[in-house]
Structure 1
Amino acid sequence: MAFCNKFGGLMKLSQTGNVPVTSMIGSLRYMSTKLFVGGLSWGTDDQSLREAFAHFGEVVDAKVIIDRESGRSRGFGFVNFSDETAANAAISEMDGKDLNGRNIRVNVANERPKELIVKKMS
C-alpha cells in the first residue's frame, strides 16, 4: 500500500513538472531497500551502523536518529541499501542479533503517515 501511495504521489508531482524523472525513479528504487533498525545501544553512531550492515551489500545511507534536545541517540535508525537482495539478506541475518551489546530489530521501514508529518510541521 505504501508503494502505491508513494508512486501515485510521485506521478502527480511529475505531471506538474516539479519532480525530475531521475528523482522519481530514485525514490521508487529505495522504497523496498530502506530498513528500520530498532533497539540500538546509545553508543551506536552512523558509522558503526553502516559498518555493521556493509557486508550484506552497498549501503547507500545509514542514519541513527538523534534526540534534538539531549543530542543522544533515540535508539533506532535507518539503513538504505542499493538493492533489495542485500536488504533482504540483512533482515534475515541481523534481526534479533547482538550489535554493540543490544539485540536489535531489523525490518523494512514503513513510510511515515502524512498526517504525522503535517502535525509536526504545524
Structure 2
Amino acid sequence: MAFYNRIGSMLNQSILQHSGSSMTNAIRCMSTKLFVGGLSFGTDDGSLRDAFASFGEVIDARVITDRETGRSRGFGFVNFADDEAATTAMSSMDGQDLNGRAIRVSVANDRPPAPRGGGYGGGGFSGGGGYNGSRSNDGY
C-alpha cells in the first residue's frame, strides 16, 4: 500500500508542477475512496450509499461504529469504482446536508497499520530493574 501512496504523491506533484492544474485534477489521479465526516448518528451504510450513488458506481459505503456501543462515530468511507466519480462526488457533496448535518467530504488517507502488542519490548517485561540486572551489590 505504501508503494501506491508514493506513486499517488509523485503523480500529484507532477501534475501540479507541469500542468498548473488544480488540486482537484491531482486528486483525480489518486484515489477512489472518500472520507465523509460530520455524519448524523442516524446515518447508516445504506443511506450513505444512497446519498453518493448518483455520482457513479459505489463499491462500498461504510459508517464507522464504536466497537463497544455499536453507535456511529460520526464518519464513514465511500469507495467508488472510478476516480472521476469520486472526484465529482467529493466536489458536489462537500458541505451539503445529509440527514440534517453538513458533511465534510475529502480524499481518504490510508492509515498505517497500528503496531501489534507482544514480542520483545512490547509488554513491559524487558530488562531488569534500576540496578543493571545484577542481583548483588558485590560487583559480580
What's the TM-score once normalised by structure 1's chain length?
A: 0.72
Equivalences, count: 94
Give, in whole Å, the separation in 1 of the partners of 2:34 and 2:41: 19
Q: For structure 2, which runs of at least 5 residues remain unmatched after alignment? A: 9-29, 118-140
Which of the pair has the greater relative contact order for Cα pairs under 8 Å at 6+ separation? 1
The match for 1:97 is 96
The match for 1:4 is 6
The match for 2:52 is 53
Q: For structure 1, which runs of at least 5 residues remain unmatched after alignment? A: 7-30
Give, in whole Å, the separation in 1 of the partners of 2:90 and 2:72: 21
Give, in whole Å, the separation in 1 of the partners of 2:70 and 2:112: 25
The match for 1:66 is 65
* RMSD (CA atoms): 1.8
Percent sequence identity over matched residues? 68
Amino acid aligned to 1:102 = R
Give, in whole Å, the separation in 2 of the partners of 1:93 and 1:99: 12
The match for 1:27 is none
Give, in whole Å, the separation in 2 of the partners of 1:53 and 1:66: 19
Q: Radius of gyration: which is bigger?
A: 2
Amino acid aligned to 2:47 = S
1:113 deviates by 2.6
Is the partner of 1:106 in helix, strand or coil? strand
Is the partner of 2:46 in helix, strand or coil? helix
Q: Which runs of 4+ in 1 moved over 6 A?
A: none
Which structure has the highest helix share of the two?
1
The match for 2:108 is 109
The match for 2:33 is 34
Amino acid aligned to 2:37 = G
1:5 deviates by 7.5
